Amino acid sequence: MDHETLISDIAVAGAAAARWRASRRLMRRIPMKQPMPNGTVETWRLGYLVDVILLRDPWMHRIDLSRAIGRPMMLTADHDGRIIAEVVAEWARRHGRPFTLVLTGPAGGSYVQGAGGPDLELDAVEFCRILSRRAPGDGLLAEFVPF
C-alpha cells in the first residue's frame, strides 16, 4: 500500500471511529473499578479508558520496544508532546502540590503549578517511564500515573 492510500484510509477510518464514539455517550460513562499499584481502587469511566489509557499504553509500549531493539524513537512536539502534556496535567492533578518542571527532548516543555515547590528537570520520555513505574522516582516523581 502506498503512502497516499494509507493516509486516505486512515482519514476515512478515523472519521468513522469518531462518529461511533460520539454516538456512545452513555456507554462512555460506565464506571469501572481499577486497582492501583499503591493498593487503592479508583473508579474510572469507560471513556477515560478509551480516550486516555488506550492512547498512552501503546505509546509507552512504543518506548519499551524502541529500547528493546536499540533504535531511537522519532518524537515530535505535535504528537508526542501532546501526550506528554496530558500526562503532566494528570500527574499535577493527582499530587496537587506546587512544582516547576522542565522536560527536555523534542517532546518536552515547561510546566509550573503554584509556587514554592521543587524544581525538576529531566528527559520527557524518562519522566513518563518514571510515572508509569518503569523506572524509580522519588518525591513528586513517586506519584503514579496510569498508562
Q: Is residue 131 part of a domain?
A: yes
What's the pLDDT score for residue 17? 78
Q: Is residue 121 part of a domain?
A: yes
What's the pLDDT score for residue 32? 93
The number of distinct structural domains making up the chain is: 1
Q: Is residue 97 part of a domain?
A: yes
Q: Is residue 6 part of a domain?
A: no
What's the pLDDT score for residue 107? 96
What's the pLDDT score for residue 70? 96
What's the pLDDT score for residue 11? 85
Q: 50-66: buried (b, 16+ CB within 10 Å) or exposed (e) per residue?
A: eebeeebeebbeebeee
Q: Is residue 8 part of a domain?
A: no
What's the pLDDT score for residue 12? 87
What's the pLDDT score for residue 23? 75
Q: Is residue 23 part of a domain?
A: no
Q: Is residue 134 part of a domain?
A: yes
Q: Is residue 88 part of a domain?
A: yes
What's the pLDDT score for residue 27? 84
What's the pLDDT score for residue 48? 94
Range of the domain at 128: 31-142
What's the pLDDT score for residue 22? 72
Q: Which residue ranges of the chain lie beneath pLDDT 70?
A: none
Q: How many CB atoms lie within 10 A of CB 31?
A: 10
SS3 123: strand
Amino acid (1-letter code) at residue 97: R
Residue with cell 484510509: 9
